[in-house]
Structure 1
Amino acid sequence: MEPILNLNFMHPQYGTLMNAEVDLSFSAAEMIEQLELSGFLPRGGSYQLAFGEQLLQAEQQLQQLSDLYEGSILRIEQEGPAAKHFIYIQDPLGQTYAPLAFDEEQLPQQALQQLVDQGFLSDLPGDLNLYFKGEALFLDQSFGAQGLAAGAYLQLRSVSQASIEEELENLQKRLQELEAQQNQKLDLIIEQLPPPSAIPIDPNYAVRPTADPYQSIDSLLYALRMEEGLPVLEKVRIWSPIPLAIYIVLAAAAVVGLLFLILSFI
């Protein structure tokens, strides 16, 4: 377990939470003293830390709680021989918790009405419901029949809000399923592709379509004639009088031009 953990402490009277980075080597008594020094608890009281259904002894260290996790809520209860067991209901608008004396035979509907009587709720809207670990409670069944015990934390929220959260969760699961299906199809396509060596190469675009050395037409023709025992072909030169006539005409034009230039200066 980490030596430092982020924990929440619930006020014994108001149900508000205080968040703090806590050294788990602290004992319960040392933690209470730190909460008094911070001003969260009035000094001089008799307090005891509780986690779930377990009440911590004064000398018990926090690191001895094996189920403690990041963001856990530890209750601060006032010590006394007639201490009651509570369940804690979260305000739908914040992080405030209302402690209610736990009774296994109590109905969730009765607990909601008790919150109104205590002033924790201004009224009792018809779309509010209690949730435990993300599951909605049946308002007409007792807490004990639905498996709740003392120390449970309940959420109070509207049914429409819960349905939206469920829809978002279902949408996220569907997106994950689609992503997994796409990855499977992609893997199947990759498996069916031929190896790189079997992919045909277009010689019109390939610089070296094969690994064979390049041979010109002349070299290939020379090799074939050598194999057949034929003489090597001589170079063919085609003679044409046209270039000679062009050169004579250009030379005559140059001479005429030069004579015309000399006569113009005389």
Structure 2
Amino acid sequence: MKILVPVKRVVDYNVKVRVKADNSGVDLANVKMALNPFCEIAVEEAVRLKEQGIASEVLVVSVGPAAAQEQLRTALALGADRAVLVETAEELGSLAVAKLLKAVVDREQPQLIVTGKQAIDSDNNQTGQMLAALCGFAQGTFASKLEIAAGKATVTREIDGGLQTVALTLPAIVTTDLRLNEPRYASLPNIMKAKKKPLDVLTPEALGVSTASSVKTLKVEAPATRSAGIKVGSVAELVEKLKNEAKVI
């Protein structure tokens, strides 16, 4: 069984994001970039399935600039077998990314697609669902547990009321939640081996996919600065401030 894992290059989660002076977007100059944490969980799950003998190959795919090869090499160091980069300098929306991934799925014919539920930069939580719709595959989102047996994927997913278990007929798409697993660290030998693993570079034109978007970003702003909290000396003072200053009662 071949598993395809889409991954994304994002600003490292330890970095404080800054908005450009002209409010046109996020300032990425000299900013540390990393593999999206949810994508890292997806890679780990795919590698574990391979280690269990369930999967025969793990393919990682990214859509983005040439620099995204760095994150693909990280995924290869974590245990993936080969990588594909769909290289584009454009800032693409979820639907355009899903269309490009659909073209790669058509070429590679994986039996299972495991992807992070969302990227920590855009937080859209859309690409996995859109890809499932374009491919006509069953989908299990927000997975906290995944089991593969007898041509089916059993997914335990987190919902508002607790947990829900669904059975998906392969091929299928699973999006990962935080509690699915704990990603491993790449060892130095595996980092060195990853440099020799195959990494193919494609373009949207080569895949025959139009990435034109009907959505335009007008303005990007940082969140409003929160005022400091205060301590009150009594319940009466708290009620007075809630009533007259905050005006919530």
TM-score, with structure 2 as normaliser: 0.26
More helix by share: 1
Which structure's relative contact order is higher, taking Cα pairs within 8 Å and 6+ residues apart?
2
Q: Larger % of strand: which?
A: 2
